[in-house]
Amino acid sequence: MISTSEKNAAMQKTAEILKNAGIAITKEEESRIEIADFNLNELTTTGLQILTYVNTDRCCAKELVLFKHQTCPEHRHPALDGCPGKEETFRCRKGIVHLYVEGEKTTNPACQPPSAPDGAYTVFHEITLKEGEQYTLLPDTKHWFQAGKDGAIVSEFSTKSRDDADVFTDTRIIR
């Protein structure tokens, strides 16, 4: 787990990145930026910064900010309590993000996953999203993503988000 000072610095950096990209946020929203280090204490390589605008029983909207080459680890959104898993659309707003999903393995991918135990990353079909491009993931689809050399901002539009129910392939992760 990262220290309070590391968390505060990451929150401030995230707010600055959003503002520099022309995405206006309030002071209240700035105070709610979530720093997800997935309990690995390696935020610069494996982590994600999240600003959730709305998360109701029907929809969710977030900004996902990734620092340069930062990776959100492989996971899926399974069915829960009789509801299908989360369906989500990623729209790249700034930078480049490399999304990896189930399917034929990409030869010569743009990036590699960070160091992790065997089995932590299992899907390697690459979809590269540049600014203005988007991709929709169906429920229960394994996926992971990594920012390019300049970092990335990804808007996420989805059905209800239940982050605590996400299933990660890296068993070290605690959400």
In this predicted structure, what is the pLDDT of residue 22? 97
Q: Do the strands 60-66 and 125-129 form a parallel or antiparallel pair, or are they unpaired? A: unpaired
Number of H helices, E strands in the chain: 2, 9
Give me the pLDDT at residue 20, please. 97
The answer to whether position 162 is within a domain reads yes
Answer yes or no: is 44 within a domain: yes
Q: Report the number of distinct structural domains present in the chain.
A: 1
Token pair in block for residue 40: 């690995």
pLDDT of 174 reads 82
Taking residues 64-79, report their average pLDDT: 97
Asked if residue 65 is part of any domain, the answer here is yes
Q: What is the CATH number of the domain that holds 145?
A: 2.60.120.10
Q: Is residue 119 part of a domain?
A: yes
Residue 32 in contact with residue 52, Cβ under 8 Å? yes
pLDDT at 1 over 90: no
Q: Which domain holds residue 74?
A: 4-168
pTM: 0.96
pLDDT in tens, 113-166: 999 999 999 999 999 999 999 999 999 999 999 999 999 999 999 999 998 899
Over residues 38-51, mean pLDDT? 96
- As a whole number, mean pLDDT of residues 90-103 equals 98
* Greatest pairwise CA separation for the chain in angstroms: 44
Residue 175 located in a structural domain: no
Please give the torsion angle defined by the CA atoms of residues 25, 160, 112 and 68, in that order, rounded to the nearest 10 degrees: 0
Whether 113 is covered by a domain: the verdict is yes
Predicted pLDDT of residue 8: 97
Looking at residue 50, its pLDDT comes to 98
Q: Is residue 142 part of a domain?
A: yes
Residue 173 within any structural domain of the chain? no
